Amino acid sequence: MSKKVYVGLSGGVDSSVTAALLKEQGYDVTGVYMKNWSKDLPGFPCPWKEDYQDAKRVAVQLGIPFKMYDFETEYKHIVVDYMIDEYKAGHTPNPDIMCNQEVKFRLFLDACLKDGAELIATGHYARVSNLESRSLKLEENQTSNPQRLTSGARLLKARDGNKDQTYFLYRVTEDALKKTLFPLGDYTKPQVRELAKKFGLATAQKKESMGICFVGKVGIKEFLQQYVKTKPGKIIDNSLSSEGEEIGEHDGAIFYTIGQRHGLGSMRLPAGRQGGLPYYVTGKDMKKNIVYVTTDLDDKKLWTKQIELTTVHFINKEPDYSKTYQVRTRHRAPLVKAKLVRGLSSHKKDILLVKLFDEIRASTPGQSVVIYDGQLVLGGGIVI
């Protein structure tokens, strides 16, 4: 008897092809649309109804059962409120990571298993190793010997490095991975598009969604303006002195992130101040509502070789702290070699210290650093 798999159908091409591939492989497939957000914002209608209908069309085309799970209440509390609170604190959170950790691979997984599913599947570009024992070939630029994997589920990079989404999946648990399929992990995006055409799916030509993960085309600034009251504040260039020089006025420190580049058009500069080199955000004081900037891309405040991580999560087990690993400090950022050190911060908080072999620019509080051992995803943490 074929295994019963519930596929998270988002209404996009990736999840549609996921369902089609699994059906072709002989699985007993059910499509499920997760209703996580339905609120319209001024000028930005929420696309959930369109996405729901697209997901339903694909299910009908494939001849598979179709359901909808409503997680909107939980999602608002777990993901949206978390994101808003983090921005208020001056951080730059990643809601996609929290969504995967708490919604897709916890709420959704639990609901599917309770409903009779044996496995779940999503359209993420990633791979899972569930074999009892196998040799894992490391990347070509690695000098380590092939790693021998013992029994259990391991998260591996997608074969298409450009589409690899393991950065967003590092907080998923091993137990969740044991129940998860990622059929797209061995495909490139162009190949997935071709498969969608081959299967004749209604979503074959659908464009990828942009903007916040759950809102659609709306930008983060427009979204935050609906929930957070902001007021103008000083923009200070402190590249030449510790006191700095006030060069303009911002419309809310909450909207700025470390390393962000701003042209003069985004700043209300004093009369007589002329445009010139681009500015980069080097820091924020949320209590004083000040944004600090520099025109010097080599400013020491923009660069670091050491990052402190909190709320650290390892998928399988603690790493070997004598080894050298690779870390990614943001999605699609180049991998950087690093050593890991467990310790305490100045606030006596349990942290993971990441000592980088090369400097990186704009390490941003609230963002995630993900740790890799070749193809294997070990885990990661959130920048303090």
Average pLDDT of the residues of the chain = 89
Q: What are phi and psi of 99, to 5 degrees?
A: -60, -45
User: Who's near 235: CB < 8 A, 6+ residues apart?
Assistant: 246, 247, 248, 249, 250, 267, 279, 290, 291, 292, 293
**What pLDDT band is residue 271 in, cutting at 50, 70 and 90?**
low
pLDDT at 345: 67
Residue 132 falls inside a structural domain = no
Catalytic residue among 107, 120, 213, 218: 213
Q: Is 213 a catalytic residue?
A: yes
Q: How far apart are CA 339 and CA 320, in angstroms?
A: 10
Where a domain ends, among 205, 222, 239? 222
Q: Is 46 a catalytic residue?
A: no
Regarding whether 377 and 312 lie in a shared domain, the answer is: yes
Regarding whether 332 and 198 lie in a shared domain, the answer is: no
* Residue bearing the bigger pLDDT, 297 or 1: 297
Statement: the pTM of the whole predicted model exceeds 0.75: yes
Nearest to 79 by CA among 46, 36, 113, 110: 36
Per-residue pLDDT averaged across 165-170, rounded?
Answer: 98
Residues 209-226 pLDDT 10s = 765 655 556 778 888 999
Domain that holds residue 358: 302-383
Q: Is the pLDDT of residue 134 over 70?
A: no
Residue 204 falls inside a structural domain = yes
Nearest to 226 by CA among 42, 45, 377, 363: 42
Per-residue pLDDT averaged across 116-137, rounded?
Answer: 80
Catalytic residue among 99, 195, 281, 362: 99
Nearest to 383 by CA among 354, 360, 357: 354
pLDDT at 152: 84
Regarding whether 275 and 173 lie in a shared domain, the answer is: no
**What pLDDT band is residue 8 in, cutting at 50, 70 and 90?**
very high
CA atoms within 13 A on the CB side of 200: 4
Where a domain ends, among 176, 202, 222? 222
**How far are the Cα atoms of 83, 317, 318, 349 from residue 311, in angstroms, in the given order?**
16, 15, 14, 10
Regarding whether 174 and 116 lie in a shared domain, the answer is: yes
pLDDT at 19: 98
Q: How far apart are the first and last CA of the chain?
A: 49
Nearest to 289 by CA among 90, 102, 117, 139: 90
**How far are the Cα atoms of 14, 62, 108, 119 from residue 198, in angstroms, in the given order?**
14, 13, 29, 25
Helix ranges, 89-170 (H): 95-99, 108-114
The DSSP secondary-structure symbol of 274 reads P
Residues 38-74 pLDDT 10s = 998 887 788 899 999 999 999 999 999 999 999 999 9
Residue 151 falls inside a structural domain = no
Q: Which amino acid is at 101?
A: Q
